[in-house]
């Protein structure tokens, strides 16, 4: 997949009110691209659209609302004549031990983090297939490739998205459309602050090994090592890559810890190699 369209590109980015979505929009606009700057409340993106009145288009988009998803794609097509880059950025975190999870809140989490991204992607694909070009970029998380106490539900929503998008990338590459999931580590956004939800259920048995980690996540808000502006520039550059990766880690922390996880996993696989192989029917050696 090497055929590129002429720039400027046309973007739709979900969740532009703050954090990664806002910074990615500003990167694309500063490069001269056209951007559908979406948010559940368009007042949150008015300043961006005033700064770039000719190339920024405010779009009301709650990714859990199928009518708004449909309208956002139709608006992009009507105003700009197509869509080249979709960024699935809208999402939030939820902290709880697994036993403490509130069923309704967990389902809401999946509606945004997983099903919202899925429905928006499906709505964008017919146009990308028709023009034989597209870039789909998912703002996933290090929690989508590593699960830890307190963030199991958030991880499961991102793990589901990772699996879906890994398969989708393989389906779309022959059509000159790529899918890249980005896994940021700890970045200085609102994720662990304003955008974070916590369960109202607390079980004493989890107060140390789970609650302490949950409290740590809240306490690092505003102190994270990751720079969202630098990350946004890297994510923008993916749109110009003729063969972008299907996965991209962002940040030194996730780089180190994921390599540790992979090393431990390989060691475990090797340790149980004979047990694994013994599950097959015996091979006829005659």
- Rounded to the nearest angstrom, the gap between the alpha carbon of residue 239 and the centroid of all alpha carbons in its chain is 15
**Which of 9, 80, 94, 154 is the catalytic position?**
154
**Which of 14, 38, 39, 140 is the catalytic position?**
140
Q: Please indicate whether residue 30 is annotated as part of the active site.
A: no
**Which of 38, 157, 158, 206 is the catalytic position?**
158
φ, ψ at 147 (rounded to 5°): -105, 140
Q: Please indicate whether residue 140 is annotated as part of the active site.
A: yes
**Which of 17, 39, 199, 239 is the catalytic position?**
17
ω before 188 within 30° of 0 (cis)?
Answer: no
Q: Please indicate whether residue 242 is annotated as part of the active site.
A: no
Task: Report the 3 state secondary structure along the chain.
Answer: CCCCCCCCCEEEECCCCCHHHHHHHHHHHHCCCEEEEEECCHHHHHHHHHHCCCCEEEEECCCCCHHHHHHHHHHHHHHHCCCCEEEECCCCEEEECHHHCCHHHHHHHHHHHHHHHHHHHHHHHHHHHHHCCEEEEEECCHHHCCCCCCEHHHHHHHHHHHHHHHHHHHHHHHHCEEEEEEEECCECCCCCCCCEEECCCCCHHHCCCCHHHHHHHHHCCCCCCECHHHHHHHHHHHCCCCCCCCEEEECHHHHHHHHHHHHHHHHHHHHCHHHHHCCCCCCCCC
Q: Please indicate whether residue 17 is annotated as part of the active site.
A: yes
Catalytically active residues, by annotation: 17, 140, 154, 158
């Amino acid at each position: 997949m090497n055929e590129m369209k002429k720039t400027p590109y046309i973007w739709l980015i979900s969740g532009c009110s703050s954090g990664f979505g806002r910074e990615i929009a500003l990167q694309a606009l500063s490069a001269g691209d056209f951007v559908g700057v979406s948010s559940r409340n368009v007042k949150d993106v008015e300043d961006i659209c005033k700064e770039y009145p000719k190339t920024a288009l405010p779009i009301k988009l709650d990714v859990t609302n199928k009518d708004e998803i449909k309208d956002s794609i139709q608006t992009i097509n009507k105003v700009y004549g197509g869509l080249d880059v979709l960024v699935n950025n809208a999402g939030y975190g939820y902290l709880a031990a697994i036993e403490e999870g509130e069923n309704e809140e967990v389902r809401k989490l999946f509606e945004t983090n997983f099903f919202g991204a899925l429905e928006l992607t499906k709505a964008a694909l017919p146009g990308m297939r028709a023009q034989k070009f597209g870039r789909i970029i998912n703002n996933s998380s290090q929690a989508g490739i590593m699960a830890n106490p307190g963030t199991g539900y958030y991880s499961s929503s991102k793990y589901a998205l990772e699996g879906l998008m890994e398969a989708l990338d393989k389906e779309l590459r022959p059509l000159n459309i790529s899918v890249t999931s980005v896994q940021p580590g700890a970045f200085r956004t609102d994720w662990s602050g304003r955008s974070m939800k916590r369960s109202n259920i607390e079980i004493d048995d989890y107060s140390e090994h789970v609650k302490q980690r949950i409290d740590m996540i809240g306490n690092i808000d505003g102190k994270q090592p990751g720079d969202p502006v630098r990350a946004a520039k890297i994510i923008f550059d993916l749109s110009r890559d003729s063969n972008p990766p299907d996965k991209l880690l962002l940040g030194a922390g996730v780089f180190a810890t994921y390599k540790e996880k992979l090393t431990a996993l390989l060691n475990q696989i090797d340790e149980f190699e004979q047990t694994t192989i013994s599950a097959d029917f015996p091979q006829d050696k005659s």
